[in-house]
Amino acid sequence: MISSVQDYPVSHYFNPDGYQRFFIPKYQREYVWRRENWDALFNDVEDLPEGHFLGSIICVNNQRDAMAGSRLELVDGQQRFTTISLFFCALYERLSRIGDPSDDLQVELVNLRNRIFVRGTDDWRFEPSEQNYNKIDFQKVLSGIFPRKVVAPRNLAYFGNRRISKAYIYFRDRLLQCDDLEAETLLNKLKTAILVKIEVPSHSDAFVLFETINNRGIPLSAIDIIKNNILAELDKIAGYGIDRAFDEWKDLVDRLPDPGVQERFLRQLYNSFRYLKRVDVPGIPRATKSNLIKVYDTLIQRNPRLLFRELRTRGEVYSALINPVLAAETWGTKAAEALTDLQRLGAAPSYGFLLWAQHVAKTKAWNEAVVIEALATGLTKWFFWRNLTDTPATRDLDSLFVDLIRGTMKKLRSSELQDSGAFVNAALDGLKERAASAERCKTQLAGDIYVENYDATRFMLCKLEQAHQTRETKRDLWEYLPNGKPLFTVEHILPKGEALTAEWAEMITANSTDDADTIRARCAHRIGNLTLSGYNSALGKMSFQKKRDRVNEHREVIGYRNGLYLNQSIAALEHWDEDAINLRSEALTDEVITVLGIW
C-alpha cells in the first residue's frame, strides 16, 4: 500500500532547481484553514528551532522517483501545502521591500521566486484546489506579486472575503511586524522545516491513509471518510474514473450541502431500507453516528456502483423533501406547502419514512404527489401534538419511524393495502397508536401552552389564522425580518410579564375576589389570551383599549382591529378579563381540534 516514506525539508518540495510540481485534485475539499491554523504554523516556524516537524503529506505516484519530475497529485496535506505556498509568497513580498539588498539576499530572492515558480517557466510550483475559487484566488495573489509572470483574473468578486486572500494577508501583515533580519530568519526556518512525504501507488491506497493521517489539519467527518472510500472503490472500476466519480458525488452533496443533513440522510437511508437483504449489515440493527462508517464500508465493499446509484437517486428525493422549491417542482405546490409545515415543526426524524414512502409510491405507480402531500399533512398534525406533549420522547422517534415502516411493509406484503389511500391511512393510523391520548392532548392545550412550547404555540396560531384566510386577506405569517426573526410573533393580550398598570389591574379584578397577579398567573399563558402580532413591541403593556385600537404613524391599524381572524372576537370587546380569556380559550381549543386534530 505504501511505496515509500521519506522526511524532506520544505525546501526539497519547493526546490528552486527542481522541476517537480504538486497539484490538488478537484475532488479534494476547498481550503478551509483559518486564523488559529495560520497562527499555529507561523508560531511554530518562529519559535521552534530549524528542522522542526510540520506534518505529513500523501502523494499518488506511479513513477519510481516522485522527485524526478512531472506533477504529483497531493491527496492529503493540501491545507498545509497551500498555506506554505502563501507563506513563501508573503516572504517574497516582504524581503523585496528591503532597500539596497545584499548579494546574498538578491540570490535568495531569485531562489524564492523559483520556489514559487518552476525555474525558467511561468508554471506554478503548486496548484491549489479549484473548489470555491481557490485556484483563481491563488492566481490573484501571484499576479499582485509577480505581474509579469501571472495575469490577474478579471471580475473576481468577493476575493477579500475568501480564505486564500485572508491567509495571504495574515502572513503579509505578520511579516510586516518583523525587522529584516527576523524575516530572513523566518525564511530559513520555513525552508528547513520537515514534511514527511508518504507515496502510494494508487488513489485507493491514498484514501485509506487519508482517513487517519491529519496532523494539525481539519478533522475528517464520517461523510469525508465515506466519500473517500466510495471514490476509491469506484476508481477501481474500469471506465469509471475518479473524475466522473467525484463529479457525481459533488452533484449529491450540492443537493444536500449541510454536513449534518448529509449524515442524517445516510443514517435514515440505511434504517429505512435495512429490511432489504442487499442493505442489511449483520449485527447493526440501526445506523447511528458512531457506526455509520462501518455500515457504509460494508455496503461499499459489497457493490460500490449500486450503492452510489442508490445514494444519488435517494439523495435527489431527500433534497426535495427538505427543500420547498424542489418539492414544488417535483410534487407540486400543495405537497411543498405540507412539507414546509412539517419542517417548521422540526420533524426531521420523519424524513426517512417519507423517503421510503416515495419509493413505495413510485414502485406501485401511485401518484407520488398525492401520497407525499397526504402523509406530510398527517405528519404535521401528529408532530404538533407530539411537540406539545413531548410524547413519544425525542430519543424514541428514530426507532418509531423504523417500526412504522416495518409494520406498514407487512401490510403491503400481505396485500391488505391495495391503493395509495389505504397505504396513507395505514401509516397515519400507525402513528396515532403511538401518540399521546386525546384527553392528554386536550389537557395540555387547555393549560399554559405558551410556557410549555412557544414554537408549537406560534405554529398553532398561524395555522388557525391560515385556515380562515382568503385571497383578499392572505398574509405571509411566516415572513422573517432582515435580522432573522419572525415578523409575526405571539402576543399576550393581558400582558405576561410587565408590572400591570392600574388600568389593567382594575379591569381584570372587577368581577373577581382574587388580586391581579393571581389572576394573571392563572390565565396569561392560556390559548385564549394569545394572538399574533407583527407589532408586539409596539403594544407591550398598553391598556386593552389602546392595544385594540392602536394605529401607526401612517394611520394603519396595528392593534386588534387589524383584520386578523384571531382578533375578530377581541376587536368587538370593551372589557378583557379572566372570563373573556376562558370563553376564547374554549372556542380556540375547539378550532385547534378541528384544524390540527388527529382523532
- How far apart, in Å, do the first and last CA atoms of the chain sit? 62
User: Residue 117 gets which letter from DSSP?
Assistant: B
Q: How many CB atoms lie within 10 A of CB 429?
A: 13
* 3-state SS assignment for residue 58: strand
At 377, list the grid cell: 399533512
Give the integer Cα–Cα distance in Å for 475 and 70. 64
Q: Which three cell numbers stand for residue 528?
A: 385564549
Decide: helix, strand or coil at residue 435.
coil
The answer to whether 91 and 115 have CB atoms below 8 angstroms apart is no
Identity of the amino acid at 467:
A
Helix (H), strand (E) at residue 533:
strand 530-533
> Which residues, listed in sequence order, are joined to residue 127 by a DSSP beta bridge?
23
- Burial of 99 from C-beta contacts in 10 A (0-12 / 13-18 / 19+): exposed
In degrees, rounded to 5, the angle at the alpha carbon of residue 137 between the alpha carbons of residues 190 and 68 is 50
Composition of the chain by helix, strand, coil, percent to 5: 60, 10, 35
Task: Kindly state the DSSP code that residue 153 receives in the 8-state scheme.
Answer: P
For residue 530, the surrounding DSSP H or E stretch is strand 530-533
pLDDT value of position 262: 93
State the residue for C-alpha cell 524526478.
68
Q: In what order do the strands lie in the sheet with 126-127?
A: 4-9, 194-200, 53-60, 71-76, 21-23, 126-127
Kindly report the backbone phi and psi dihedral angles of residue 532, in degrees, each rounded to the nearest multiple of 5, phi listed first: -110, 145
Tell me which residue of 346, 348, 367 sits closest to 357, measured CA to CA: 367
Specify the length of the chain in residues.
Answer: 599
Q: Can you say whether residue 178 is alpha, beta or left, with left for phi > 0 and alpha for psi between -120 and 50 degrees?
A: beta
DSSP string, 396-465: GHHHHHHHHHHHHHHHHHTT---SHHHHHHHHHHHHHHTSPPHHHHHHHHHS-HHHH-HHHHHHHHHHHH
Task: Kindly give the confidence (pLDDT) of every residue in the chain, 599 residues in length, as a single tens digit, with 9 standing for 90 and above.
Answer: 677 889 999 999 999 999 999 998 776 778 999 999 999 999 999 999 999 999 888 888 765 554 445 788 888 888 999 999 999 999 999 999 999 999 999 999 999 999 999 999 999 999 998 888 999 999 999 999 999 999 999 989 999 999 999 999 999 999 999 999 999 999 999 999 999 998 887 765 665 565 555 444 445 567 777 887 888 788 888 888 777 888 888 888 889 988 899 999 999 999 999 999 999 999 999 999 888 988 998 999 999 999 999 999 999 999 999 999 999 999 999 999 999 999 999 999 999 999 999 999 999 999 999 999 999 999 999 999 999 999 999 999 999 999 999 999 999 999 999 999 999 999 999 999 999 999 999 999 999 999 999 999 999 999 999 999 988 788 899 998 888 888 889 999 999 877 888 999 999 999 888 999 999 999 999 999 999 988 766 566 788 998 888 888 888 888 888 889 999 999 989 999 999 999 999 999 999 999 999 98
What is the model's pTM? 0.71
What is the sign, positive or negative, of the torsion defined by CA atoms of 326, 332, 335, 336? Answer: positive
Supply the pLDDT for residue 67.
47
Cis, peptide link before residue 147, omega less than 30° from 0: no
* Three cell numbers, residue 346: 422540526
**Cell numbers found for residue 222:** 464520517
Q: At residue 451, what are phi and psi to the nearest 5 degrees?
A: -75, -35
The grid coordinates listed for 594 are 378541528
* 306 grid coordinates: 449500486
Tell me the three state secondary structure of residue 534.
coil
